[in-house]
Amino acid sequence: MEKSKVYFTDFRVHHEESLTHKLQRLLDKAGLGNIDMDGKYVAIKMHFGELGNLAFLRPNWAKAVADYVKAHGGKPFLTDCNTLYVGSRKNALDHLSTAYENGFSPLSTGCHVIIADGIKGTDEALVPVKGDYVKEAKIGQAIMDADIIISLNHFKGHESTGFGGAIKDLGMGCGSRAGKMEMHAAGKPEVDQSLCIGCGFCQKNCAHDAITITNHKASINHDKCVGCGRCIGACNFDAIDFAHNAAVAELNCRMAEYAKAVVDGRPNFHISLVVDVSPTCDCHSGNDAPMLPDVGMFASTDPLAIDQACVDACLKQEPLPNTLLTEQMAKEDFCDHHDHFENVTPNAEYKTCLAHAAKIGLGNREYELITVK
């Protein structure tokens, strides 16, 4: 198989050019303009950031992409699906309010914001998938109504999937609430009672009333739990983890199959900004300090190749001081995985996602990196 092309540029600019204009030049070189967008509906899938989080991509980046689409005759809209967990984006009304508060409005981005799976997260299209785990993906209807899909993602760490990039933006991000539940449902977390102090923060972050606190110890009712892993990210004491590592692997595989359901049969394009590389997802109401230096901007027609290129670039970076990553590395019992993402969250992993994405034909892990000055 011929290597996929991934285009890259860093964040260096001279005073004659802005970063957003440099991004548009990258999109041009990477071939976004070769897609026929004239009169077509173009979904720009991105994350609007949980309230309180400051690591999400600035609206300026979204405007640069939307303006590029409009210049080529397309009808762009920014979109995301509702979340499965408790937070400020679990229904379309709260989700829109969060997007506006974080700066994503028609005035600031030049296009409308549409929550793809509707007010309650039930507006979904059933998309057939030839996968090992998923037979019919539940995708936000507005995303499937689009003629073209563009993923604009913030590449960063993630407490379950190792990192969040194009595949996660497309797979998990485009799933309706029921779709997200299907992807997560294979794994159920457990509480290590010896580490739990009964603070109740996990309970507050559980959307399904699955966690109770008894005698200052948390416990999880697996009959109610959907395996979303939100409690794992909420726990400050490493007291909660998935009972079986295979569950994370299955989550990764389901996510890759959902991503394939989103892109199959229509033009798709992917943009990843490796900036503010926080150790966990933008879904949290706060974000820790970036653990790696800012790397640059990537663009490709291959969602797997761009994820592989971004993770390869991150693994070449030196960890930043006074971060969760260096804090983990300083522990007496630290086991070096020779991988920044696994070192910061040892029980998370991403390799099964990339391997399964290649197996099902989502893209190519072999890529040619083309630098745009």
Give me the percent of the chain exceeding a pLDDT of 90: 85
Residue 4 has pLDDT above 60, yes or no: yes
Report whether 256 contacts 362 (CB < 8 A). yes
Which pLDDT score, from 0 to 100, does residue 274 have? 98
Which pLDDT score, from 0 to 100, does residue 243 have? 63
Q: How many Å from the N-terminal Cα to the C-terminal Cα in the chain?
A: 28
Question: 269: which 2 tokens?
Answer: 């394009």
Tell the burial category of 346 from Cβ atoms under 10 Å away from its Cβ (0-12, 13-18, 19+): middle
From 112-121, 191-200, 242-251, 339-348, the region with the lowest mean pLDDT:
242-251
Average pLDDT (338-367) is: 96
Q: Using one digit for the tens of pLDDT, what is the confidence trace for 224-267?
A: 998 777 787 788 888 997 665 558 899 999 999 999 999 999 99
Which pLDDT score, from 0 to 100, does residue 20 have? 98
Which pLDDT score, from 0 to 100, does residue 246 have? 54
Backbone φ and ψ of 292, nearest 5°: -135, 155
Q: Using one digit for the tens of pLDDT, what is the confidence trace for 128-168?
A: 999 999 999 999 999 999 999 999 999 999 999 999 999 99
Is the whole model's pTM more than 0.85, yes or no?
yes
Which pLDDT score, from 0 to 100, does residue 244 have? 55
Using left for φ > 0, alpha for ψ between -120 and 50, and beta otherwise, residue 327 falls in alpha
Which pLDDT score, from 0 to 100, does residue 247 have? 80
Which pLDDT score, from 0 to 100, does residue 248 have? 87
CA pair distance 284, 56, nearest whole angstrom: 10
Which pLDDT score, from 0 to 100, does residue 187 have? 67
Question: 40: which 2 tokens?
Answer: 């077509």
pLDDT class for 312, splitting at 50, 70, 90? very high
Q: How far is CA 78 from CA 73, 283, 298, in A?
A: 16, 17, 19
Q: Using one digit for the tens of pLDDT, what is the confidence trace for 266-292?
A: 999 999 999 999 999 999 899 999 999
Which pLDDT score, from 0 to 100, does residue 229 have? 74
What burial letters (b/e) apply to 6-38, b meaning 16+ CB within 10 Å? Answer: bbbbeeeeeeeeebbebbbbbbebbebeebebe
H/E stretch holding 64 reads helix 59-71
pLDDT class for 85, splitting at 50, 70, 90? confident
Report whether 66 contacts 104 (CB < 8 A). no
Q: How far is CA 354 from CA 19, 232, 271, 287, in A?
A: 30, 23, 17, 25
